[in-house]
Amino acid sequence: MSHSGLVALLPMRGGSERVPNKNLRGLAGAPLYSYILQTLTGLDFPDVVYVDTDSDAIASDVESRFPTVNVHRRPDTLGTGDTPMTTVIHDFLNNHNFENVLQVHSTSPFLSVETLSLAYREFTALEDCDSIFGVTKVQARLWTSELAPINHDPQVLERTQDLQPVFLENSAFYLFQSTVLRETGQRIGTAPRAFSVKSLEAIDIDSEEDFSFAQTVAYGLQAQK
């Protein structure tokens, strides 16, 4: 358990209610998870890459396709849909002691090496930053469910590009000091930074419709090569 430095962590559980078997499902000819894992193995700053899973099938596929990637087997009790991701990461850190964690999801297949590298540079350059996370910058007229304006005055028709930006936490990545999670139970600390992710890279697969859209995008990107 004597580790240090930074771990790139990809948690994946075997079960999935909204998109069955999503991690191993084919996306333009390759398992969904392989896209983000290919990105992680292309980074030059993690000391090691880990997959955290409760699934024999996922573990076996990872070991076959990515022999340099380590696999941590989480307890079966942490493989349920209502298990918080922070609980999963806490279990991982109890078994592997790293100073910093880059955590991503398989459902963000188009996240790039360039974006993660830029986020890491910002994370390390700012002395008072304990965490940085991916966001989508939104400049649009936003309303609450009660139709109260959030970031604009309905009586003043401002151009959308002049509106105060609002940031959507898109779950593309979280980069944080492990002490943040240990002490607060969260991935976003008391001195965080938001990192804007491009629209393509912020695509998140959360439904069958999302998967179909990502399938179209993936084939389109292949055709451009």
**145 pLDDT band (50/70/90 cuts)?**
very high
Is 150 part of a structural domain of the chain?
Answer: no
Residue 70 belongs to domain with CATH number: 3.90.550.10
Burial call 123-148: b when 16+ CB within 10 Å, e when fewer: beeeeebbbbbbbbeeeeeeeeeeee
Pairing of strands 48-53, 192-196: unpaired
Amino acid at 110: F
pLDDT digits (tens, 9 = 90+) for 91-111: 999 999 999 999 999 999 999
Tell whether the model's pLDDT for residue 127 goes beyond 90: no
**Does residue 141 fall inside a structural domain?**
no
Per-residue pLDDT averaged across 145-166, rounded?
Answer: 92
144 lies in some domain: no
Tell me whether residue 81 is exposed, middle or buried, using C-beta atoms within 10 angstroms of its C-beta: 0 to 12, 13 to 18, 19 or more.
exposed
Instruction: Assess if residue 162 is contained within a domain.
Output: no
- Kindly report, residue by residue over 27-40, the tens digit of the pLDDT: 999 999 999 999 99
Q: Where are the alpha helices (DSSP H) in 67-225?
A: 85-95, 113-125, 178-184, 208-224
Q: What are phi and psi of 35, to 5 degrees?
A: -65, -55
Pair of tokens at residue 203 = 């695509």
pLDDT the model gives residue 78: 85
> What is the per-residue pLDDT for 180?
97
> pTM above 0.85?
yes
**Total number of domains in the chain:** 1
What residues contact 201, with CB distance under 8 A and at least 6 apart?
A: 108, 110, 111, 112, 115, 172
In a domain, 35, yes or no: yes
What range does the domain containing 115 cover?
6-134+168-224
Let me know if residue 151 belongs to a domain.
Answer: no
Q: Name the pLDDT band for 80 (thresholds 50, 70, 90).
A: confident
Say yes or no to pLDDT of 81 above 90.
no
Residue 84 domain flag:
yes
Predicted confidence at residue 3, as pLDDT, reads 55
Asked whether residue 160 is domain-assigned, the answer is no
Mean pLDDT of the 77-104 span: 93
Percent of the chain with pLDDT over 70: 98
